[in-house]
Structure 1
Amino acid sequence: MDALRANLKDKKDLNQIELAWGRQDADDSIKERNVLERLQPSVNLVELTIRSYGGTSFPNWLGDSSFSNIKVMRLSGFSNCWSLPPVGQLPALKELYIEEMKSVMSIGAEFYGVNGTCLIQPFRSLEKLQIKWMPEWEEWLPSPGRGQCPDFPRLEELVLKNCPKLRGNLPDHLPCLKKLQVHHCWVLHERATRSRWIPWSLIVNTESLRQSLQDLKIRGCPGLSSLLETESLSSLFTLEIQIFSRTDCLQPHLSSRLQKLTLDNCGSLLSFPRNGLPTTLKSLYILECRRLEFLSHEMMTKLTFLQTLYLSNSCDSLRSFPLGVFPKLSFLYISSSKNLESLSIGEGADHENLTHLDSLSIYYCPNLVSFPHGGLPTPNLARFEVAICENLKLLPDRIHTLTALRNLWISAIPNVESFAEGGLPPNLQSFGIRGCEKLRPSVEYWGSQRLVSLRTFEISGSEDVLETVLKEQLLPTTLHTLKISGMKSLKSLEGKGIQHLTSLQELEIRWCASLEFLPKEGLPAWLRRLSIWHSSSLEKRCQEKTGEEWSKIAHIPCIEIGNQVIIN
């Protein structure tokens, strides 16, 4: 009766409503259907979302073609329905999202909204279809009696995710498809019989994709590797594949228009195509491909448009990375490259090739020992990060010449004793140090008072460095934010080193279990925010009004202590 009195049908200006039940499992499916029946909205509706509906069937209005203005529909968490509602006859529907229909095993005629062989073109306006988290879904059938008409004549984007039992055919004629994503549909296109292999051409009409498909992402669907064997996908701009078992899944054809390639968890992949990668490539991501032989020098020199290279736990044979081979490279990230020993300019490389490099990050490289001799000839480098490289003893020479550098982070490099001879980069805005026990900062080398642009300094787990920085007043007076963390045995903060920071606005203290005492002089009068987390001793001593350290911080407008926020 409440649903009936809501009278949504007569609310002509209502163009969006979301109907959601507040539980996962229905206690009365008949009642739920009756409620949804009486919540019929106005035919002027443009967007409809229904969540956690517990009925076993649908009211007649859901999917009725009289709702000629609906453009977006979201259906999620129908726990008791064995089929999907007949939404195929909604004439204006452009986007359809279906999730968590845990009882649906088959999608067929009911979905298209047809009876028998009497067919009106289904999904005549649909451009985007996403189906996710369908644990029991096994088959996707075409509409009956369709003749030569495609079921999805205007579909541009198809996304299937986490449908672990889905096997067999996808829609076999998708003339406008631009984007196809299939994630974790493990048995899709699995061999129907043990005796014969099914070519991709029987699953999706590749001829219909020749001029349309631009973005292809396949993750956790090993049966779809045959799609990469076709020569017809000449329009691809983006290709992402994950968890492929074949050694030659890139052979022999890649689109000559390809701009982004991602290889993820292809443990058996041994090599790139013999003729190299498309010269149009702008972004290359390689993750968890340890057996893959890295690009040859000849292949690298042809990638004249490559801007982004992301290499993680891959290409174990790589020992030296030639920075100067790629003339347009702006972003380089290397992580968990266990045999990498050095970064070099590269054989025959021109220093001009390094002028585009904007971001350089090196993580988890245990055998890295050196950077190019004489420093990094990267005049436009803005971000530089080095972390967890236990054998690295020297950071790049002449780092003060990197006048474009804005962000510098060095972490867990236990054997670095000093760096920045000649001074730190003069235009730094953010500087972080973590776990560099042997590092010894000095006024002579750091020249930090010249860092008039430095806004944030973060230090973690390097107590001697912190004490030196504060005692010698090495931080510039222009500093805005100071973050201190991971100081296991530090008991007190040095006063003068903080008091001279006349622009300091924020101070964060985290994971300092032994810290008890703030500076005797108190914290600067101009400080606007203090945050203390996971530092039990100091948290107790800074309790409002009752703590021994409270008088030193009472003037600060905003104080965060654990989950407590104090506004003064």
Structure 2
Amino acid sequence: MINNEALLEKLQPNRNLMLFRLDGFKGTEIPRWGRAHDDWSIILPNLVNIQLRGCQRLHGIPLLSNLKHLKFLSLAMLNNLEHMETNAIGRGGSGSKDLPFFPSLEFLSLWRLERLKEWRGGVSEEDSSSCMPHWRPPFPRLSRVCIELCPKLTSLPPCPSLESLEVVLSNKLLRILPSEGPPNLDLKLNVEVDSVGYLTTLPARCLTDIVIRDNDELKRLSEFEEVFKSSSSLQKLEISRCRRLTSVSGVLEHLTALESLSLDDIPVVDEEFEDDMPWRSLSRNLRFLKLESLSTLQMLPRGMKHLTALQDLDISHCKSLKGLPEWISCLSSLHSLTIDSCTGLKSLGAIQNITSLQKLEILDCPDLREACQEPSGKEWPNIRHIPHISFTHWWE
């Protein structure tokens, strides 16, 4: 029988090691060479990349926050790990009260850490009971964070330089603690979440891209109107597979800087789309619009006629859509139109009046394809002015 801890004990790495990866280790503790000082900045000071994966019995790992060169940290399937950085200074190590918490870390991935409850950082153990606790600046360079399947994690230390955040299948109460000091006004933040609630503790003024997907609890975006009302810099919004979402009103009208909007597999009703106001608010800057898998959509929203800056329109898998409206010619800046798997679509409306249209792509729409064939198709006279026209099936 192999003793995992004894075997790894004999494999003490060189002090100059830059990449440390431990995969499938069955021991309960890191070997003595790794926990002698409880601080890897002493024994492996040059580490740049740490990956711990599938060490399901491991219940603790040494301090990593004092590693001056660490840029990449990935922790996955550590099923017994409950706490991180319980002493953020370290015992007798090279850490300093003046050294930021994870001073060089740029990428952090936490995946399937089923028992992880907290990630302490910023206040040292020796100072935490003091009347004047010493605060260490946390994650000064951390720009990308991915958190998935961490059901008990409720908070993460502040990330003042965060640019990309993905949180899915995790604790709905998870929050990133607010940063100390003045806000970074130049920060641009891209977010992908399965709960809009995560957005409430992020700096809304910095949000530029938001993806909301796989949220079966969300019914109305207006429940979070205050978040979107403050997101004046938001440029891209994608909502996907939120199968109980019936209303986007109360939000779109605040997103006047929005350039790209994608709505995919949501049961928004036609009446919801009839309101002109949201579309009028998007008229100045919206360049790209994608409507996908809107199974009940029988006609395009009338308010879309106000989207005079729209350049790319993608309509996919809207099988109840019967035809394009006559007002489609109001899209005076439209450059590219893609129609994919809209099997009920029979006509293209007044497409002949869109003189800006340069590209028409029709995929897996057999009836429409036949209607657009040169020279006898009934739609051919309406599309022959378009320089680039293509027809394909999914199997081609």
Q: TM-score range by the shorter chain?
A: 0.7 to 0.9
Aligned counterpart for 2:172 among listed residues 183, 188, 208: 188
Q: Per the alignment, do residues 123 and 325 of structure 1 end up closer, same or farther by CA in structure 2, a change over 3 Å counting?
A: same
Give the distance between the partners of 2:348 and 2:230, measured in 1 at CA: 34
Map Cα deviations across residues 143-170 of structure 1 (whole Å, 9 max, x no partner): 533632233233222221122x224322
**Larger Cα Rg: Structure 1 or Structure 2?**
1
Aligned counterpart for 1:235 among listed residues 206, 210, 217: 206
| Mapping for residues 137-536 of structure 1, pairs under 5 Å | 137-142=116-121, 144=125, 145=128, 147-163=134-150, 165-171=151-157, 173-185=158-170, 187-189=171-173, 204-205=177-178, 211=185, 214-221=188-195, 223-224=197-198, 226-227=200-201, 232-242=203-213, 243=215, 244-247=217-220, 248-252=222-226, 253-266=229-242, 267-273=244-250, 276-291=253-268, 293-294=272-273, 296-301=275-280, 302-314=282-294, 316=296, 319-320=299-300, 325-344=306-325, 346=327, 349=330, 352-354=332-334, 356-357=335-336, 359-364=337-342, 366=344, 368-373=345-350, 375=352, 377=354, 381-382=358-359, 384-387=361-364, 394-395=371-372, 396-398=379-381, 399-405=383-389, 407-410=390-393, 458=396
* Aligned match of 1:68: 45
Q: Per the alignment, do residues 295 and 95 of structure 1 end up closer, same or farther by CA in structure 2, a change over 3 Å counting?
A: farther
Q: CA deviation at 1:66?
A: 4.6
Secondary structure at the aligned position of 1:256 is classed as: coil
Give the distance between the partners of 2:45 and 2:274, measured in 1 at CA: 54
Q: Is the 8 A contact 2:143 2:162 kept in 1?
A: yes
Give the distance between the partners of 1:98 and 1:128, measured in 2 at CA: 11
TM-score normalised according to structure 2 size: 0.76
TM-score normalised according to structure 1 size: 0.55
Q: Per the alignment, do residues 295 and 259 of structure 1 end up closer, same or farther by CA in structure 2, a change over 3 Å counting?
A: farther
Q: CA deviation at 1:403?
A: 2.2
Task: State how many pairs are aligned.
Answer: 362
- Calculate the aligned-residue CA RMSD, in Å: 3.6
The structure with higher relative contact order (CA 8 Å, sep 6+) is: 2
Give the distance between the partners of 2:301 and 2:343, measured in 1 at CA: 12
Q: Is the 8 A contact 2:329 2:350 kept in 1?
A: no
Q: CA deviation at 1:131?
A: 0.8
Q: Per the alignment, do residues 225 and 310 of structure 1 end up closer, same or farther by CA in structure 2, a change over 3 Å counting?
A: same
Give the distance between the partners of 2:7 and 2:161, measured in 1 at CA: 39
Q: CA deviation at 1:251?
A: 0.7
User: 1:204 is aligned with what amino acid?
Assistant: L
* Runs of 5+ consecutive residues of structure 1 not aligned to the other structure: 1-26, 191-199, 412-433, 435-457, 459-568
Q: Is the 8 A contact 1:280 1:303 kept in 2?
A: no
* Runs of 5+ consecutive residues of structure 2 not aligned to the other structure: 35-39, 373-378
Give the distance between the partners of 1:337 and 1:177, measured in 2 at CA: 37
Give the distance between the partners of 2:341 and 2:142, measured in 1 at CA: 42
* Aligned match of 2:104: 125
Q: Is the 8 A contact 1:344 1:371 kept in 2?
A: yes
User: 2:185 is aligned with what amino acid?
Assistant: Q
Map Cα deviations across residues 404-448 of structure 1 (whole Å, 9 max, x no partner): 23x42157xxxxxxxxxxxxxxxxxxxxxx7xxxxxxxxxxxxxx
Q: Per the alignment, do residues 280 and 206 of structure 1 end up closer, same or farther by CA in structure 2, a change over 3 Å counting?
A: farther
Give the distance between the partners of 1:167 and 1:342, measured in 2 at CA: 48
Q: Per the alignment, do residues 365 and 217 of structure 1 end up closer, same or farther by CA in structure 2, a change over 3 Å counting?
A: farther
Q: Is the 8 A contact 1:265 1:289 kept in 2?
A: yes
Secondary structure at the aligned position of 1:97 is classed as: strand
Q: CA deviation at 1:87?
A: 1.7
Map Cα deviations across residues 472-503 of structure 1 (whole Å, 9 max, x no partner): xxxxxxxxxxxxxxxxxxxxxxxxxxxxxxxx
Q: CA deviation at 1:307?
A: 2.8
Q: CA deviation at 1:126?
A: 1.5
Map Cα deviations across residues 510-551 of structure 1 (whole Å, 9 max, x no partner): xxxxxxxxxxxxxxxxxxxxxxxxxxxxxxxxxxxxxxxxxx
Give the distance between the partners of 1:160 and 1:327, measured in 2 at CA: 39
Give the distance between the partners of 1:297 and 1:119, measured in 2 at CA: 59
Q: Is the 8 A contact 2:299 2:325 kept in 1?
A: no
Q: CA deviation at 1:234?
A: 0.6
